């Protein structure tokens, strides 16, 4: 029997195992892609502040939790889905903190963290809020949750952030195309008080807003 020279044998072994190595390296990415596809469109809806049924939040959390923990942004989104599904924030907080340690530039994650600790540690919440503000001051989909949370952290925020929150609240309230955003803001703790404060130098403006909202609630416009 003719023996294969050692260099040739090594070449054959290398060529045999190379595809297996490529497949092994690509498999996690493939699994991740499948999971992200299963998470859509719920993942996009959560990030654009669209309310979902509790079952959808739970499905999203389960799907995203199957992804590698090293993906900080996905871990944060899974935690947000868990909170929206009704899980106690204290049970989800470690996942948010871990996600932020891996994705420290995720402004939405810092807002989520601030919302979870605001009652127990408002100073920590204010710092997280400030960081989110610095990371994404113009992010359209963060304006409503940031404004609503800012109203609750009002006493712990610097003057500059208070002015921006008031400006955002007034911009939402005076834009007829943002009525859903306004109703979402008004439905949060301190949201109505913030909108009223935004119009404190414009009594006619707040009266008009109240009339418009009443007419809309009665389907008169």
* Residue that is written with structure tokens 């009266």 in the block: 207
Burial class of residue 126, CB neighbours in 10 A (0-12, 13-18, 19+): buried
Closest residue by Cα to residue 42 from 28, 29, 61: 61
Q: What are the distances in angstroms from CA 32 to CA 35, 68, 78, 151, 184?
A: 5, 8, 14, 37, 33
pLDDT per position as a tens digit, 199-213: 999 999 999 999 999
How many C-beta atoms surround the C-beta of residue 49 within 10 A? 16
What's the pLDDT score for residue 37?
Answer: 75
- pLDDT of amino acid 30: 41
pLDDT recorded at residue 70: 81
CB 181 within 8 A of CB 144: yes
In the chain, domain spans: 18-104, 126-221
Tell me the three state secondary structure of residue 192.
helix
> What is the structure's pLDDT at 97?
97
Instruction: Dihedral sign for Cα 157, 135, 194, 126, please.
Output: negative
Distance CA 10, CA 8 (A): 5
Question: What is the pLDDT, as a whole number, of residue 28?
Answer: 45
Rg (alpha carbons) of the chain, rounded to whole number: 24
pLDDT per residue, tens digit, the chain (221 aa), is 554 454 555 555 445 554 544 444 433 444 555 666 787 888 899 999 999 999 999 999 999 888 877 889 999 999 999 999 999 999 999 999 999 999 999 999 999 999 999 999 999 999 999 999 999 999 999 999 999 999 999 999 999 999 999 999 999 999 999 999 999 999 999 999 999 999 999 999 999 999 999 998 887 76
Q: How far apart are CA 142 and CA 79, in angstroms?
A: 17
- Per-residue pLDDT tens over the stretch 77-91: 999 999 999 999 999
């Amino acid at each position: 029997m003719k023996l294969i020279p050692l260099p040739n044998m090594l070449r054959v072994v290398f060529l045999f195992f190379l595809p297996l190595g490529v497949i092994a390296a690509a498999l996690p990415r493939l699994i991740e892609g499948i999971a992200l596809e299963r998470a859509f469109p719920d993942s996009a809806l959560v990030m654009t502040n669209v309310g979902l049924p509790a079952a959808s939040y739970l499905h999203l959390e389960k799907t995203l939790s199957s992804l590698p923990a090293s993906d900080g942004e996905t871990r944060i989104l899974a935690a947000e889905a868990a909170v929206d599904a009704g899980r106690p924030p204290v049970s989800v907080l470690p996942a948010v903190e871990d996600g932020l340690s891996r994705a420290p530039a995720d402004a939405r994650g810092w807002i989520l963290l601030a919302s979870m600790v605001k009652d127990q540690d408002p100073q920590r919440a204010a710092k997280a809020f400030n960081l989110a503000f610095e990371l994404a001051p113009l992010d359209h989909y963060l304006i409503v949750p940031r404004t609503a949370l800012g109203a609750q952290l009002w006493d712990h925020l610097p003057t500059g952030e208070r002015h921006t929150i008031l400006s955002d609240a007034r911009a939402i309230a005076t834009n007829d195309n943002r009525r859903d955003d306004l109703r979402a803001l008004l439905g949060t703790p301190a949201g109505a008080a913030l909108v009223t404060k935004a119009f404190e130098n414009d009594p006619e403006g707040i009266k008009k807003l109240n009339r418009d909202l009443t007419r809309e609630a009665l389907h008169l416009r």
